[in-house]
Amino acid sequence: MTTATAETEQPETGGPHRGTWPGIWQRGPVLTTLALLLGLLMLLHAWITDRAGLGSLVESFLPWFGLFVPVLLAGALWRRSASAVAALLLPVVVWLNQFSGLLIDKSQPGSDLTVVSHNVGDGNPDPLGTARDLAASGADVLALEEITPQAKPLYEKGLAKAYPHHTVQGTVGLWSRLPLSDIRPVDIQQDAGPLGDAKPADVKLAYNRALRTTVATDQGPLTVYVAHLGSVRVMPRTGFWTDSRDRNATALAEALAAERSERVVLLGDLNGTMDDGAFDGIAAQLRSAQEEAGDGFGFSWPARFPVARIDQILVRGVEPRSSWVLPSTGSDHLPVAAGISW
């Protein structure tokens, strides 16, 4: 009699750990590393070197780094990697800590004054149309940046009826329903850049990019600054060039530090987001209306597909009640608005 030995078939598992608890923690080491690096990048962005403008470039688009989370999550689920899923908790927590407040509508009804800031664009094809749109916004105080000599009389004509008081200092201007006083330019040291955009020694006012004035309101005087900081550009040799803007930001922060007025509003195109460390000196003195009273990120540039909030309304001594972005006017920027109260 032949005795047959029964052999138990062992299913193929593709490896000793495939499908087991230890195995799912060992899969996806690259995804796990990328998730941790993403979280650390967002957490420690202030420590990134600004050589070739790298730090400013990252901080300008910091909220968008959150889009990498669902991409990495899809990869982690496809690889069935528990370690990658767990590592994604770091960027999720960091992103929520930094930006979740912007997803909540913090606006409140009622305000004493509505302010608007708009970079009207030096290539704006319809300054009169832009002026009409801005006048219809209902703003009490309206700041314009990048006013060209050719467009200046058109803005003055289009805004004259709604705003009896105004001043233009170089390429920035302020229109107001309320009286203005103590008007003066602010020197923010617009030095020469790689494209030769220097302020000539014998021309002071024409190239001015900042002003200060006092608005007489029913609640008392309000000091208003209007500023257009230097441009940032991607240069083949220098990378993300921010030197002119950073010098302007430092000079503006010094002017604000010397300001004795209790109630201050800064309106302008700062050519950078408030996440950028270049504005730490300004952020230490003023609060963002969008962050305190807005609904969403309030991206203002470029107008066709806004990806960054580089147009700012910052305050001190007054309370922002609401903050929003106005429709496109023909400029490459969107106007930004805020309601403030005492």
Summarised one tens digit per residue, pLDDT across range 57-94 is 999 999 999 999 999 999 999 999 999 999 999 999 99
Distance CA 18, CA 100 (A): 38
208: nearest Cα among 188, 225, 222? 188
Q: Which run of H or of E encompasses 169?
A: strand 165-169
Higher pLDDT, 234 or 320: 320
What confidence score (pLDDT) does residue 236 get? Answer: 74
In a domain, 321, yes or no: yes
Q: Are residues 95 and 143 located together in one domain of the fold?
A: no
* 131 and 66 belong to one structural domain: no
Domain boundary among 52, 70, 103: 103
Same-domain check for residues 181 and 254 = yes
Residue whose structure tokens are 């009699």 = 1
Query: pLDDT by residue (tens digit) across 119-168?
Result: 999 999 999 999 999 999 999 999 999 999 999 999 999 999 999 999 99
Residue 201: C-alpha distances to residues 70, 168, 195, 212 (Å):
53, 20, 17, 22
Could you tell me the CATH number of the domain that includes residue 136? Answer: 3.60.10.10
Residues 269, 137 share a domain: yes
Q: Tell me the whole-structure pTM to 2 decimals.
A: 0.87
**96 and 136, same domain (yes or no):** no
Look at residues 103, 132, 160 and tell me which one is the last residue of a structural domain. Answer: 103
Q: Assess if residue 83 is contained within a domain.
A: yes
55 in the same domain as 133: no
**Owning domain of residue 129:** 113-341
Cβ atoms of residues 82 and 28 within 8 Å:
no
In a domain, residue 12? The reply is: no
Model confidence at 199: pLDDT above 60:
no
Any idea which residue has 């900042």 for tokens?
Answer: 210
| Residue 6 is assigned to a structural domain of this protein | no
Angle made by CA atoms 314, 315, 318, in degrees to the nearest 5: 155
Res 1 pLDDT > 80? no
Prior bond of 91 cis (ω within 30°): no
Spell out a b/e string for 27-43, using b for 16 or more CB atoms within 10 Å of the CB, else e: bbeebbebbbebbebbb
Same-domain check for residues 117 and 99: no
Residues 36 and 89 in one domain: yes
Contact partners, residue 210, CB within 8 Å, separation at least 6: 169, 172, 185, 186, 187, 188, 225, 226, 227, 228, 248, 252, 255, 268
10 has a pLDDT exceeding 70:
no
Q: Return d(Cα 270, Cα 242) in angstroms, integer.
A: 11
| Contact (CB, 8 A) for 163 and 177 | yes
Last residue in a domain, options 68, 103, 138: 103
CA–CA dist 297, 92 (Å, integer)? 17
Same domain, 260 and 336: yes
Together in a domain, 91 and 215: no
Q: Is residue 202 predicted with pLDDT exceeding 50?
A: no
Judged by average pLDDT, the poorest of 3-17, 176-190, 262-276 is: 3-17
Taking the C-alpha atoms of residue 189 and residue 196, their distance in angstroms, rounded to an integer, is 14
Kindly state whether residues 67 and 180 are assigned to the same domain. no
Shared domain for 146 and 197, answered yes or no, is yes
Tens digits of residue pLDDT in 24-65: 788 889 999 999 999 999 999 999 988 888 989 999 999 999
Report the percentage of the chain scoring pLDDT > 90: 81
Residue 314 included in any domain: yes
**Is residue 10 assigned to a domain?**
no
Q: What integer best gives the mean pLDDT of the chain?
A: 90
pLDDT at 2 over 50: no
End-to-end CA distance of the chain: 105
Residue 16 domain-assigned?
A: no
The answer as to whether 54 is a domain residue is yes
Q: What is the domain count for the chain?
A: 2
Residue 234 has pLDDT above 90, yes or no: no
